Chain A
Amino acid sequence: MISLAITDDQVIILNGLQKILADVPNIQITGIYNNGDELLEGLIKQQPDVLLLDIQMPGKSGVELAAIITKTYRNIKIIALTNVDVIAQIKKILQQGVMGYLLKDASPEKIVKAIETVYAGEQFIQEELKQQLLNSLSASNAKQIVTRREKEILQLIVDEFTNQEIADKLYLSLRTVENHRNNLLQKLDVKNTAGLVKVAIQEGLV
């Protein structure tokens, strides 16, 4: 038997979830809370195995609450239940030790599956979100791309044009050229023009 607590500020959601889970034999709802404060108070008396936690609530936010609970009650498995499907948000919440991430419109089967999965000590993230998360992680590790405009400017730097000359040639402000140049220095991880030229040739950028 899995004991479950639900926290949501919207009564209809609470009712809906209760109805869905009422028939599930191995799940027993032990607590219903309307906000973070009620939840923290209730947890002192009774700790569920799994907690369904709405992330967007007035008062303490889901992220804050997750941080407190995972620290205080290591055994409570938290599933974020939310309408927010933004990767950054998901990452943040996962970083707090939350085991599952569910969108509120998930099917009852999925909800039950999620509860059972985290109870078993595994992570549960809704399928479509999982893909996005993976994409995001791979993208952040990708090598910095040099933009076309930057390549153009790099070529001119290699051709020994000064910033002012480049600006005049491309009808850009001096400031803009300086920005591009600084970006290149950062991207190619070099300190000066000589480095830029060296790397540009090595990497075949020009």
Chain B
Amino acid sequence: MSKNVNTLKCRDTLKYSVLHDIVLVVLFLLPVMDSAAQTNEKTASMAQQFDTTSILLLLQEGSHLTDKKPEAALESFITAAERSRQLNFAKGLALSNAKMARWYFGNNSDKSIEYSRQALKYFEQDAASATDDKAEVHLLMAEAFDEQGRLDSSAYYYYLLGSEIESGNITNPKLAVDLYTKLAIFWINLDYGSKEGDEYFRTLKRFVDKAKMAAVSIKDSADAVSSVYFLQGAYFHALKKFDSARYYYNTYLQEREKLNKIVLARKISTLTNIADTYLQENRPDDAMQYINKVEAMVNAPQQTRYLVFYMLFTNLLKGKALYQQHKYMPAVDLLNETLEKLKTTGTHLRGELLDAYKTLANSYEASGDYKNALLQNNRYIAMYDSLMKKDKIDMINRLEIRYRMVEKDKALAEQKLKIAAVENRVRSRNYLIGGISFLAFFTAFGFVLWRRKNIHKQRLQQERIDNLQQKMEIERLNATIDGEEKERTRIAGELHDGIGSLLTAAKMNFEMVRRNSQYEHNPDFIEGIKLLEETASGLRETAHNIMPEILMQEGLSDAIKSFCERMTGKGGTVISFQTLGTAGEMDTSFYLPVYRIVQELIHNVRKHAKAATALVQMNFHEDGGLDITVEDDGNGMEITMIKSSAGMGLKNINERVKQLGGRIDINSIKGRGTSVYMEFEPGKK
């Protein structure tokens, strides 16, 4: 009648029994007690005792007790929550709420969801909480919402978990296997109704493969292989290959029991699933065997309470078996009783429940109670519509599609990661090369800078040395000039005043002799006197040339002017002199050498230029500077001559101008004459 797989098959892991009212009371009371007895030292010391480690140990202990002593387990969880609250221990609160949520799953789905939400809230507060712990709560919520027929919420959590696993955020392979198993079953149950086709099975197959892949990471190989058997069973169950399904279910039970790794809830799920396969084959007697196995297993009162939900669903299967055995009235009684009891275990809306109403309706019909048959059938139809709302299914399909896209993205991302890794290797190599080049470049650059700095320093030093040498040279020269000029002055004075006067006196005497004797007309005597005269004149000239007195007395301008006039007076080149500006005070050490330079230039003109006219121009600048031009209209010189040894005189003059700190510009045109321009800045020597 239906191809659905009993959802009981996915009830497993931890479950805990009620007592939750007590928990609430305690939880409410604690803060009241705290505030009422703030000074109560006893309370304070109690709080001190519950350190976080003891709370975690208590929770672990509770987990171990769950299947054997579910009530005691729940007690442990409540105590842990209470102590965590006192210590404000977020992780403790989160974990204890998670455990309680799991415990209540088998008892009351509403409470299970409530505790799950609490747990998630506390996980939010605890930054260090493990992703795996949170994932378990998400899984529980997915199951609980599925239980209540809130498929969209359930799907949301399932696919959230799927994405988390794909992203690699969940590392526990057991949890992954669990997730894929439950997701597959969710998917199977979702197909309630008339879904056929390849897509459905492909999706299912994918979950099986995923679970297998996840199981590979489980260290113990026996554990790894066996953990997937349940899912494989469910897979064949869905494919309606019931023999294969039963084979895997049975193997699963055997293997897990061998490993002692099966919880009571999962055992019940597996057994009821086997029963369901028989029922789907319309073999109620075989089914009943497995149902009896379950009933035999859950007989202790605390277990009946803890697993009340599982038992009720087993009863639904039993009702169906009874119906198939044509025991309609017992079937109706059992189903009515069970459905009534189910109202106390939270909200339920699932395939099995629909099936139960259908069976109930059919049983009523078979027993001739058409009124009730119609009533139950209507309920069945209403529930079916509610569960199978099209928009819900669409949404879940969208989630599935998105989930696959996430997977594809992940594959793409992995590919990209590989490419990026290669690129990174290349890039890091390039960086290395770049870095080395950079370093090399900067080393070279630094070296060049250093070298340049050194060279610059050397140059500066050389310049300083040169400057010093120049200065010394000038000083030495000045000293030499000074000495030379002093000597010249002395010699000139000697010639002029001493020898000159003697000569003059001698001549005067001879003049007297001539006048007073017969020698007056003696030509030899007269020639002698003439020679004396010429000697005196020559001496005066020489003395003047050696040291022009006028230079000392009248200054450079007049001295040069006088010299020009004197030279013109001698015939040959007519030398004009012109001056601009006013001469300021000048140092002897400056105007003597300048005078000598001009003197030499004029001598050169007279000796070599064959010039008709020459011009000497002196311009005194306002700032104390001076420029002198000596220009002739003679035959000029070749430029090479100016620079070659033939121009020794000029070269000499060049040197002397530079020694005085002046500049010289010699400009000569062959056949047109030479122009020598000099400028001095006496103040800036």
Contacts and interface: CB of A to CB of B under 8 A. Distances in A.
On whether the two chains bind one another, the answer is yes
B659 interface: no
B518 interface: no
Interface in B495-518: 496-497, 500-505, 507-509, 511-512, 515-516
A105 B504 contact: yes
A192 interface: no
A164 interface: no
B145 to A, nearest CB: 92
Interface stretch (A25-33, A65-73, A172-180): A172-180
Interface string A160-202: 0000000000001101100110110011000000000000000
A173 B678 CA distance: 12
Nearest to B514: A108
A16 B673 CA distance: 50
Contacts of A19: 508-509, 512
A92 to B, nearest CB: 8
Interface residues of B, number: 53
A86 interface: yes
A22 B280 CA distance: 183
Interface stretch (B187-195, B389-397, B547-555): B547-555
B568 to A, nearest CB: 7
Contacts of B509: 16, 19
Contacts of B548: 86
B505 A16 contact: yes
B565 interface: yes
Contacts of A173: 663
Contact of A147 (B508, B537, B629): B629
Contacts of A85: 540, 544
A183 B568 contact: no
A145 B549 contact: no
Interface stretch (A41-49, A114-122, A129-137): A129-137
B368 interface: no
A88 B566 CA distance: 11
Given A148-B631, A179-B679, A83 B565 contact: no
Contact of B501 (A13, A92, A135): A13
A86 B580 contact: no
A105 B569 contact: no
Interface size class of A (residues with CB under 8 A): 35 or more
B599 interface: no
Interface stretch (B86-94, B454-462, B614-622): B614-622
Given A89-B554, A145-B617, A183-B627, A84 B549 contact: yes
B667 interface: yes
A81 to B, nearest CB: 10
A72 B533 CA distance: 36
B673 A145 contact: no
Contact of B621 (A16, A105, A182): A182
A128 B533 CA distance: 14
The prevalent SS among residues of A at the interface is: helix
A139 interface: yes
B589 interface: no
Interface string A140-168: 00101101111000000000000000000
Contacts of B502: 12
A40 interface: no
B118 interface: no
A103 B541 CA distance: 13
Contact of B675 (A87, A144, A149): A149
Interface in B617-661: 617, 619, 621, 625, 627, 629, 631
Nearest to B505: A12
A172 B665 contact: yes
Given A86-B550, A108-B511, 17 more contacts: A10-B501, A16-B509, A19-B508, A83-B540, A86-B554, A88-B561, A92-B554, A104-B504, A131-B569, A147-B629, A147-B631, A149-B631, A150-B629, A176-B627, A176-B663, A182-B619, A186-B619
29 contacts: A10-B497, A10-B505, A12-B504, A13-B504, A16-B504, A83-B540, A86-B550, A88-B558, A88-B561, A89-B550, A92-B554, A104-B501, A104-B504, A105-B540, A108-B512, A108-B515, A132-B565, A132-B566, A135-B569, A139-B565, A144-B578, A144-B580, A145-B615, A145-B617, A147-B629, A148-B673, A173-B663, A176-B663, A186-B580
